[in-house]
Amino acid sequence: MKRREFLGTILAVPLCYRSALAEGKIRRVGYLSAGSPVTDDSPTSGPVIDGLKRLGWVEGRTIHFERRAAEGQIDRLPSLVSDLIAVGVEAILTSGFPAIAACKGAPVPAIASGAGDLVSLGLIESLRQPGGNITGISDLAGELAPKRLAILKEALPSIRRVAMLWNDGDRAMGQRYELSAASAGTLAISVQPLPVREPEDFSEAFAAMDRERPDAGFMVVDGLTGLNRKRVIEFAGSHRIPFMYEGDFIVRDGGLVSYGPDLTEVGERQASLLDKILHGANAGELPFERPTRFTLAVNLKTAAKLSLKLPPALLVRADEVIE
């Protein structure tokens, strides 16, 4: 049940097709995924494509997407970027650190989201003046980590031990895990680290939770964990372990609770950055933008299966409650 409607989608009047349509030129743009194939309705790429439509960039009329996906095989990303350059894309949309890292230094601009602290990871000079060929949407992991753990603690006041599952092969996700683990310490919660690097590692992570059962769990979301999210949801449900996630789409898939940036807003801002670049802006001079809207989602069906009664105050604050 949606509790907050994005009024802009109701009130917005479709824009004209701008210069691209006037010139009759279809612009070619790459869309690169480290995980699942890019689709018009996926949780991350769907809002970007919808945002572009509202700006007049309609596939087949004013824009053509060259879609590439590594499907969790990170070592394929550099060759996929080379392939996109070879087919003549003017810019590359992507999300996550491995994908944007593969785009660094490419002869076309790249627009990222959900990629971690790119300053400390060495991909950009600063959020205000990125330099090079990269711009995008800020990650805000340092600000969100304590809020996510605080929400989990509010939902389950008695928890003392939290299992944390993350992709250890992704430097940005390693950062996000470290921030989350540090936040847990401030809430008197101990951490059970469960690093994974490939799909086969999830079985060992599940076995570790069988051997030493946590009170709750937290999954850092990237291409690898996102691809395997249904396995995590199924394990959490069958073993009655309440999990916190970073994206509301996982709650719709059956996860218990999530808190993170509103993916519709992130998509719209990524679309706006691409629009500016296609109209001549320099990516390295476009500041990274901060998300301003955040979504708390709760699945009461999952709570019932886990025999949990969530605090009424938490449900009142939730932006989306699945009943």
Task: Retrieve residue 191's tokens.
Answer: 């951490």
Average pLDDT across each block of 10 residues of the chain; the chain has 323 residues. List them in order. 40 41 78 91 93 96 96 93 98 96 97 93 95 95 92 96 96 94 94 96 98 97 93 98 96 97 96 98 97 97 96 97 96
Same domain, 317 and 200: yes
Same domain, 38 and 66: yes
Per-residue confidence (pLDDT) for residue 238, from 0 to 100:
97
Q: Give 120's contacts (C-beta < 8 A, 6+ positions apart).
A: 175
Helices (H), 218-296: 223-227, 229-238, 248-252, 263-278
Same domain, 149 and 242: yes
The domain that holds 93 is classified in CATH as 3.40.50.2300
Burial letters 159-189, b for 16+ CB under 10 A, else e: beebbbbbbbbbbbbbbbbebbbebbeeeeb
Indicate the residue type of 189: I
Cα–Cα distance, 295 to 248 (Å, whole number): 7
Of 215, 208, 162, nearest in space to 189 by CA:
162
Residue 35 lies in a domain: yes
Same domain, 255 and 268: no
Indicate the residue type of 46: G
Q: Domain of 154?
A: 141-260+295-322
- Whether 63 and 57 have beta carbons less than 8 Å apart is answered as yes
- Whether 224 and 201 have beta carbons less than 8 Å apart is answered as no
User: Is the torsion defined by CA of 259, 265, 269, 274 positive or negative?
Assistant: positive
3-state secondary structure of 245: strand
Same domain, 94 and 186: no
Same domain, 123 and 145: no
Same domain, 146 and 274: no
Residue 1 lies in a domain: no
Cα–Cα distance, 32 to 246 (Å, whole number): 21
Per-residue confidence (pLDDT) for residue 35, from 0 to 100:
87
Per-residue confidence (pLDDT) for residue 5, from 0 to 100:
41
Same domain, 169 and 21: no
Same domain, 85 and 155: no
Cα–Cα distance, 184 to 17 (Å, whole number): 49
> In total, how many domains does the chain have?
2
Per-residue confidence (pLDDT) for residue 20, from 0 to 100:
44
Per-residue confidence (pLDDT) for residue 24, from 0 to 100:
62
- Whether 206 and 236 have beta carbons less than 8 Å apart is answered as no
